[in-house]
Amino acid sequence: MKRMAIYLALFVALIGACSSPGQPQANGEMEATVQRVVDGDTVELSTGEKVRLIGVDTPETVKPNHPVEPYGKEASDFSKQLLTGQKVTLKFDVEPYDKYKRLLAYMYLQDGTFVNEKLVRDGYARIMTIPPNVAYADLFLEAEREARENNRGLWGKSTQNPSMPSPSTEKPKQEVPGSDQAPPEGKPIKGNINAKGDKIYHVPGSASYEQTNAEMWFATEEEAKAAGFRAPKR
């Protein structure tokens, strides 16, 4: 028994020696320095790795073959001023990387500022929750509701982006709310929480799918139901 305990202790010590502290791993964390801001919700570290902030989505400014979206420049400039050159703590959820090999992280400044939440609460980002990385989904939802109620940033009454060209005399194309949201790969079902707090999911092709702004995305109806969402009543 004593010999077995010694072997076990040696094994644990070996595992500890072989592990790489500070490396990305599920539910772990690491220290880093932001070298540059790529977009409002994406940064590049001094190591060259890119980080996509979990749970938030700022208007696009650098997406190939995609126009700069309203309030995109403001969001990008805000992130640049807030993060460029800063030492930060990255905390990971269930998945440390996305399919593009970018780190997926919650980011904190040295003064404790939770960057992901701040972007949403100050109106620079919408929430975009993609299971299984949902640790702060409720916090982000509350932050977005506060931003909406106070008309902050992209939720302001005037959505005209001063960096965009002035409107032409041509009749503008009518936009359908939610129609410009691209679902994450393999997760086409939209989850939305209405003003009454009802959690409702919408599958592609359903009556309200195009008009629905997704606050969470799901791969299957079973996954949506497991998260507490229900199908529309009609």
**In one letter, which amino acid is 57?**
D
Active-site residue (options: 102, 145, 148, 152)? 102
Confirm whether 234 is a catalytic residue: no
The backbone torsions φ and ψ at residue 40, rounded to the nearest 5 degrees and listed phi first, read -55, -30
Confirm whether 102 is a catalytic residue: yes
pLDDT tens sequence across 101-132: 999 999 999 999 999 999 999 999 999 989 89
Taking 60 as the threshold, does the pLDDT of residue 134 lie above it? yes
Neighbouring CB atoms inside 10 A of 44's CB total: 15
Going from the C-alpha of 221 to that of each of 90, 107, 209, the distances in angstroms are 32, 31, 14
Segment 45-53 shows an average pLDDT of 97
Active-site residue (options: 60, 74, 144, 223)? 60
Show the tokens assigned to 203: 């599958």
With beta carbons less than 8 A apart as the criterion, state whether 94 and 9 touch.
no
Determine what percent of the chain is predicted with pLDDT higher than 70: 78
- Hey, which of 31-40, 58-67, 163-172 has the most confident mean pLDDT? 31-40
Instruction: Find the Cα–Cα–Cα–Cα dihedral 109, 113, 118, 122, rounded to 10°.
Output: -110
**Closest to 117 in 3D by CA, of 157, 145, 150:** 145
**Lowest-pLDDT range of 61-65, 153-157, 186-190:** 61-65
Active-site residue (options: 52, 121, 215, 223)? 52
Helix (H) or strand (E) holding 222: helix 221-226
Predicted structure pTM score: 0.66
Confidence class for position 2, pLDDT limits 50, 70, 90 = low
Neighbouring CB atoms inside 10 A of 31's CB total: 10
**Mean pLDDT over each residue of the chain, to the nearest integer:** 81
pLDDT tens sequence across 162-203: 333 333 333 333 344 455 567 787 888 998 887 677 888 888
Confirm whether 60 is a catalytic residue: yes
